[in-house]
Structure 1
Amino acid sequence: MTRIVAHRGSSSSWPEHTRAAFRQAIADGADGLECDVRLTAEGVAVCWHDATVDRTSDGSGPVLDHTIDELRGLDVLGGARVPAHLGRAGQQVLTLAELVEMATDAGRPLTLAIELKHPAPYGWRAEDVVLDVLDRAGWVDGRIGDVDVSLMSFHPGSLAHLASRVDGRVLMPLLDLLDPATVGDVPPDVAVDLLAESVAMVDSGAAGGVGPSVAYVRAHPDRVRRWSEAGRVVRAWTVDTADDLDVCRRAGVGEVTTNDPAGLRRLL
């Protein structure tokens, strides 16, 4: 059975990373919730993808220059009217601790997939903050009650840092094809080395899971299938069409991350 993880919540229904998007994902029957983490000015782990607030709010500037209260004062709904049961306007920006609580309060088994973003101006500090949040929530052996936690990153250094405090079973390198459009600020030769390190972590079993893009699955279906058969948790992203879902299932992918969990559930 293919498991469905909601990419930044049900982000085809409500703006990404909002309380509304995550609550909708739970209501849509998603098997898991995926989020990105950035640090605020006072060092709070907040659910946010970009390094700046410009794309997903009416504000501007780095997330790191905003306190959590300042972030909650921004319009992250784009003017959308949200039903009361999905949270008021000022409740839409979530800390990681609040998302953990939402997941544990769901009353059923869920996966919580947390991505650490890099490059970051604070080095590996976000990794330590995330682990502190999970420790306070009472996680043991990668679980908090009915919630399984996985920690993801495109940067193998992030995962190596986490490995000093957690079991490798909860770690998941993220993989994509090396396209100049996706490498970003990382020099191409560095990107090649980082990808090779991440693949080696999966091959060796140092990481218990792997998160390939759909493009990566298309390019390397046999490799992805070998990982699945070796017992790695394979969670592909971002799967929103019947064709992408078929590619993943034929490669033995067990979990898919999607913007539209309700729609993918219908396809399944």
Structure 2
Amino acid sequence: MTTQRIFCLLIAAVLGTGCSSRPNTAPDARLVEHLPLIVAHRAGTADYPENTLLAIDAALRNHADMIWLTVQLSHDGVPVLYRPADLSANTQGSGPVAQKTFAELQQLNAGWNFKQPAENSAYPYRSRQMPIPSLQQALKAIPPSTRVILDMKALPAPPQAHAVAKILDATRRWDDVLIYSTDDTYQQAFASHPHARLFESRDNTRDRLASVALAQSCPAPPSPGTWAAFEYQRKVAVVETFTLGEARSQVSAKFWTPDAMRCFASRGKVNVLVIGAETAEDYKAVACLGVDAVLVDSPEKMKTLKQHMEQPLRCP
């Protein structure tokens, strides 16, 4: 492959464009009838204290189509909603979630460090008890008509997968729950649960997107009905190896392109969730790509954005 061709492919990955010597002709505009679903990230981490029942209630009131919740396991085996590695990030406590019983976690305030977005010095929830909820409490607050995505954070995977499966069995919520994790061991951990519906491995999604962008190949497209998720824009390092060393280039790449979407759908319909397209410009761009859902931090902001966006959407 020539140096010019390699450079062209790298630019294509960064800008989300094609790599062609043919003149660029603008096709007629087309109409998109259905805008991507809004997925409330950690139930709306920018609007209210994340992964709390208050945030879940607000996300539902702001018409979020799906709720993304982060799950860890308490010391006594209860699946709870909390994301950071240490309790000090969001609460007045400290240490890992796994070192506290569920009763002890209930004594902490999950909104302790949440600042009002418009008032950087204000901590409006320090005077209000806001315990870390269990997964069972969260599912009780979310109607079955709203799909839930559970992001698995704790390791090792098998104990948490088993505990979550018990809750989904007891609540009969397998049909409206999807399982996601950045760690591939959860794929194996849920393999013994036939009702579990998992996102494709993040490693597989990332490798395929990189292959489309840099090699114009589409290895092992997902099976129809699969859910796949990856960031709309991601900082990556391009490493070129020489005999006498290597050189690195830092780029901000957009991997979701028309070519990528065609690759993912080449065996049949695949559900694509894009992480982090929260401006009007980015939301319109991914809508025109045909993605199914967008993970956002502020359902409140996105509700307003969608209300003011033309429908059907005119796409180039």
TM-score band, normalised by shorter chain: 0.7 to 0.9
Q: Structure 1 250/15 Cα, relative in aligned 2: closer, same or farther at 3 Å? A: same
Is 192-201 or 12-21 further displaced after alignment? 192-201
Partner of 2:151: 115
- 1:9-24 matches, within 5 Å, as 9-24=43-58
Partner of 2:90: 56
- What is the letter of the counterpart of residue 159 of structure 1? Q
Q: What's the CA shift for 1:157?
A: 2.3
TM normalised by structure 2 equals 0.66
Partner of 2:182: 154
Identity of aligned residues (%): 21
Superposition RMSD on alpha carbons, in Å? 3.0
In the alignment, the residues of structure 1 paired with residue 74 and residue 54 of structure 2 have an alpha-carbon distance, to the nearest angstrom, of 21
Give distance in 1, aligned partners of 2:96 and 2:195. 32
| Residues 126-152 of structure 1, C-alpha deviations (whole Å, 9 max, x = no match) | 11111111000013xx42xxxx21111
Contact 1:38 1:51 in 2 (8 A): no
Measure how far apart 1:100 and its partner are: 0.9
The 1:194/1:51 distance shift into structure 2, 3 A limit, reads farther
Match of 1:184 in 2: none
- Structure 1 counterpart of 2:63: 29
Equivalent position SS for 2:254:
helix
| 1:215 aligns to 2:243 (yes or no) | no
Deviation at 1:209, TM superposition (A): 0.5
What does 1:96-135 correspond to in 2, within 5 Å?
96-104=135-143, 109-117=145-153, 120=155, 122-135=156-169
Q: Which residue of 2 aligns with 1:72?
A: 106
- Report the Cα offset of residue 51 of structure 1: 2.3
The alpha-carbon deviation at position 227 of structure 1 amounts to: 2.3
| TM-score, normalised by the number of residues in structure 1 | 0.77
Give the conservation status (yes or no) of the 8 Å contact 1:52–1:62: yes
Q: Is the 8 A contact 1:228 1:252 kept in 2?
A: no
Contact 2:110 2:130 in 1 (8 A): no
Q: Which amino acid aligns with 2:97?
A: V
Alignment correspondent of 2:194: 166
C-alpha contact (below 8 Å) 2:200/2:226 kept by paired residues: no
**Cα distance per residue 1:239-264 (max 9 Å; x no partner):** 32123313322322111111111211
Q: Indicate how the Cα distance of structure 1 residues 201 and 173 shifts in structure 2: closer, same or farther if over 3 A, else same.
A: farther
> Could you tell me which residue of structure 2 aligns to residue 180 of structure 1?
none
Q: Whole-Å Cα distance in 1 between the matches of residues 254 and 209 of structure 2?
A: 18
Decide whether aligned partners of structure 1 residues 16 and 4 sit closer, same or farther in structure 2, where only a CA change above 3 A counts.
Answer: same
SS in 1 for 2:80: strand
The 3 A distance-change label for structure 1 pair 174 and 238 is farther
CA pair 259-201 structure 1, distance change in 2 beyond 3 A: farther
Q: Residues 39 and 244 of structure 1: is their aligned pair in 2 closer, same or farther, counting only changes over 3 Å? A: same
**1:18-58 deviations in Å (ceiling 9; x for gaps):** 11111100111111111111000101000111222121111
Tell me the distance in 1 between the aligned counterparts of 2:150 and 2:69.
5
Q: Give, as a single letter, the amino acid of the residue that structure 1 aligns with 2:78.
A: V
The 3-state SS of whatever aligns with 1:33 is: strand
Matched positions, count: 235
Closer/same/farther in 2, CA of residues 158 and 202 from structure 1, 3 Å limit: farther
1:15 is displaced (CA, Å) by 1.2
Q: CA deviation at 1:225?
A: 4.5
User: Do 1:202 and 1:209's aligned partners in 2 also have CA atoms closer than 8 Å?
Assistant: no
**Runs of at least 5 residues in structure 2 that lack an aligned partner in the other structure:** 1-33, 113-122, 211-217, 235-252, 307-316
CA–CA distance in 2 between the matches of 1:130 and 1:166?
14
**Aligned residue number for residue 227 of structure 1:** 264
Most deviating of 123-132 and 207-216: 207-216
Highest RCO, 1 vs 2 (Cα 8 Å, sep ≥ 6): 2
Any stretches of 5+ residues in structure 1 without a counterpart? 83-87, 176-191
**Residues 38-83 of structure 1: per-residue CA shift (max 9 Å, x gap):** 000101000111222121111111110111222121222224249x
Counterpart of 2:255, as a letter, is A
Cα gap change, 1:97/1:198 in structure 2, threshold over 3 Å: closer, same or farther? farther
Task: Kindly provide the amino acid, as one letter, of the partner of residue 153 in structure 2.
Answer: K
